[in-house]
Chain A
């Protein structure tokens, strides 16, 4: 018997109620993350990748609603049925999150050290004397000088603020870290430093990680497995080398083709025609069909299910699952 996955999501549906109707941001998503594994969750804006992350943290607020599905943490915690008190001890201690643009959401009138201390005391009763030492340790862990705990966010550079946010996320030794576009707003060189840091921390602490990003190239460097999302659903899941070596879903193929094509100047780039569908009016059948170069009649009639193909790979495409 192998260990249960650190998180097992099945049949998750999340909708937002907007004036124009129900926006199905996440529409029947299932995924598993094994212990100590980095799973990349990739896709374009509006594909539901961040919403999936927020749902695992139970952070969906009205007008959003988790409509259906099950989220099981570590084989024994049913996340969707946790009460308020249980949620407090679940969040940050079991699962924590580095939010997109989090470096700009630090409180400008509090020192960075006291913000980290606040995160700790919100979840457990720690003694004041120990706190300073804990904060110092956390900062050193992310490659910062402990003396900087007394500085305010405006005294930090973007990269340093992002490090502080990561320190905060790791403050209570979570088992799973959900990182939502942690490097998107950073310049290339700083982005490299933060990526290196996160991977280093993941290995040292044996963290499990869901890495949400639109950057398929960065993901190829360090993830164990990648799930590609499109319009609220998972199109393809595969071990990283398989996904980049032989993508099976036409959407993944298109994305990778345009990424690889860019390496050869002068050559015309393959681009996927059209744009993702409106999530309030998802087309019948396969939601990628209007943009797919291989679409045939079955694609218009029937929504393809995410089915296993071979060795840890699953694809939602009629062409593959004939």
Chain B
């Protein structure tokens, strides 16, 4: 349904006062390709600065791309305009990380969730809008009679995120880009929102692009997983395969670093270094300064994302050694 081909998003950096300084750019996304099938959830994981949010924003047509293309059912989304773009926005919706900021503080819940209904002509009048919003609120596990005329500040974080979800599904979309939808929520509330998102995926036949820094959450939600680092996908495959047998050293380090319940076992791959700036990306494999297995090839040659199995691709020169 959606295919992303060699996507690059570069943001120019100010030269400051020096007119002779070289024009630099932040390479937020630097050659990313993947596809999303109908009714599939793919999770995009990575640390801050890995480009996962920017990728999601391009797909939601909120950020322009520098190079590459994004095709939705074969049509280039960057070429859409006017009615075409409006139709696309109806089919592709986004849920943001912070439910405190993504809702308008001065609009009541019925108006927030009802806005897309009005924009897309789904609700013809106020009465109809209230009816549809009520049923949407019930679907996301809220009691509509309690929240319909409330304002965001009167709701808890979990309730607010449910309102954002109701707003996203109001147009009956086919793809929802969910950018860290539970990272601001407490554990006891998080589980409920994840359950809800899975239920909605089934009843609305949704696809999710689920963006997360939390491997545990990504593992729970995603059938497929893409691990990103500094604007590139390092490993792409079925979540279960990657979790049980990571092939990229970075994925290994990430899995090793993620806390697990129980006393910590000693050994394993040590966490080394920090993600560098996406202005000065290391040459060759961009992970080589932190990689314990790096060789001379890694310092000069960029490893392409190669298929190691039908459903498992890795961007590492030495991936076979870890298989």
Binding site for B on A (CB under 8 A): 44-45, 157-160, 187-193, 195-196, 214-218, 220-222, 240-241, 244, 254-256, 258-263, 265, 268-273, 275-276, 291
Query: Are the CB atoms of B188 and A188 closer together than 8 Å?
Result: no
The chain A residue sitting closest to B239, CB to CB, is A265
Shortest CB distance B208–A (Å): 13
B192-206 vs A, Cβ < 8 Å mask (1 yes, 0 no): 101100100000000
Binding site for A on B (CB under 8 A): 47-48, 156-159, 186-192, 194-195, 198, 213, 215-217, 219-221, 239-240, 253-254, 256-264, 271-275
Query: Are the CB atoms of B187 and A259 closer together than 8 Å?
Result: yes
The chain B residue sitting closest to A218, CB to CB, is B259
The chain A residue sitting closest to B46, CB to CB, is A187
Query: Are the CB atoms of A272 and B188 closer together than 8 Å?
Result: yes
Residue from A187, A221, A269 within 8 A of B47 (CB atoms): A187
Query: Are the CB atoms of A273 and B192 closer together than 8 Å?
Result: yes
Shortest CB distance A268–B (Å): 6
A-side contacts of B257, CB under 8 Å: 188-189, 191-192
23 pairs of residues in contact across A and B, judged by CB atoms under 8 Å = A188-B254, A188-B257, A189-B254, A189-B273, A191-B257, A195-B259, A214-B186, A214-B187, A216-B187, A216-B261, A217-B259, A220-B259, A221-B263, A221-B264, A240-B263, A259-B261, A262-B216, A262-B217, A262-B220, A265-B240, A271-B189, A275-B189, A276-B188
Query: Are the CB atoms of B156 and A275 closer together than 8 Å?
Result: yes
With A214-B186, A217-B259, A263-B216 as given contacts, are A275 and B191 in contact (CB-CB < 8 Å)? no
Given contacts A221-B259, A259-B261, A291-B188, 13 further A-B contacts (CB under 8 A): A44-B186, A45-B186, A187-B274, A188-B213, A189-B47, A254-B188, A262-B217, A265-B219, A268-B198, A271-B192, A272-B191, A273-B192, A276-B186
Shortest CB distance A223–B (Å): 10
Of B257, B259, B260, B264, most A-chain CB atoms within 10 Å: B259
The chain A residue sitting closest to B155, CB to CB, is A275
The chain B residue sitting closest to A220, CB to CB, is B261
With A220-B261, A221-B264, A275-B159 as given contacts, are A258 and B48 in contact (CB-CB < 8 Å)? no
Q: Please report the number of residue pairs spanning A and B whose Cβ atoms sit closer than 8 angstroms.
A: 117
How far is B290's CA from A157's CA once the two chains are assembled, in angstroms? 15
How far is B317's CA from A179's CA once the two chains are assembled, in angstroms? 41
How far is B243's CA from A262's CA once the two chains are assembled, in angstroms? 13
The chain A residue sitting closest to B263, CB to CB, is A221
A-side contacts of B263, CB under 8 Å: 220-222, 240-241
Residue from B191, B219, B261, B262 within 8 A of A258 (CB atoms): B191
B-side contacts of A276, CB under 8 Å: 186, 188
Query: Are the CB atoms of B262 and A269 closer together than 8 Å?
Result: no
How far is B188's CA from A190's CA once the two chains are assembled, in angstroms? 25
Query: Are the CB atoms of B216 and A260 closer together than 8 Å?
Result: no
Query: Are the CB atoms of B259 and A215 closer together than 8 Å?
Result: yes
Query: Are the CB atoms of B158 and A275 closer together than 8 Å?
Result: yes
Query: Are the CB atoms of B253 and A189 closer together than 8 Å?
Result: yes
How far is B192's CA from A291's CA once the two chains are assembled, in angstroms? 13
The main secondary structure of chain A at its interface with chain B is helix
The chain A residue sitting closest to B198, CB to CB, is A268
Per CB-CB distance, the 10 closest pairs between chain A and chain B, nearest first, are A271-B191, A258-B191, A192-B257, A271-B192, A187-B47, A44-B186, A221-B264, A269-B191, A272-B188, A218-B259
The chain A residue sitting closest to B47, CB to CB, is A187
Query: Are the CB atoms of B191 and A270 closer together than 8 Å?
Result: yes
B-side contacts of A217, CB under 8 Å: 216, 259-261
Query: Are the CB atoms of B261 and A260 closer together than 8 Å?
Result: yes
Query: Are the CB atoms of A190 and B271 closer together than 8 Å?
Result: yes
Residue from B195, B260, B272 within 8 A of A269 (CB atoms): B195
A-side contacts of B275, CB under 8 Å: 187, 189
How far is B257's CA from A190's CA once the two chains are assembled, in angstroms? 8
How far is B256's CA from A121's CA once the two chains are assembled, in angstroms? 40
Query: Are the CB atoms of A258 and B187 closer together than 8 Å?
Result: yes
The chain A residue sitting closest to B256, CB to CB, is A192
Residue from B191, B216, B274 within 8 A of A159 (CB atoms): B274
How far is B151's CA from A295's CA once the two chains are assembled, in angstroms? 31
Shortest CB distance B169–A (Å): 20
Of A157, A214, A240, most B-chain CB atoms within 10 Å: A157
A-side contacts of B262, CB under 8 Å: 220-221, 244
Query: Are the CB atoms of B188 and A44 closer together than 8 Å?
Result: yes
Shortest CB distance B50–A (Å): 9
B-side contacts of A255, CB under 8 Å: 187-188
A-side contacts of B219, CB under 8 Å: 262-263, 265
The chain A residue sitting closest to B215, CB to CB, is A188
The chain A residue sitting closest to B261, CB to CB, is A220
How far is B214's CA from A214's CA once the two chains are assembled, in angstroms? 15
A-side contacts of B215, CB under 8 Å: 188
Shortest CB distance A7–B (Å): 25
The chain A residue sitting closest to B290, CB to CB, is A189
How far is B213's CA from A273's CA once the two chains are assembled, in angstroms? 25
How far is B276's CA from A190's CA once the two chains are assembled, in angstroms? 12
Query: Are the CB atoms of B264 and A222 closer together than 8 Å?
Result: yes
A-side contacts of B192, CB under 8 Å: 269, 271-273
The chain A residue sitting closest to B265, CB to CB, is A221
How far is B186's CA from A276's CA once the two chains are assembled, in angstroms? 10
A-side contacts of B259, CB under 8 Å: 192, 195, 215, 217-218, 220-221
Query: Are the CB atoms of B274 and A158 closer together than 8 Å?
Result: yes
The chain B residue sitting closest to A196, CB to CB, is B271
B-side contacts of A256, CB under 8 Å: 261
The chain B residue sitting closest to A185, CB to CB, is B48
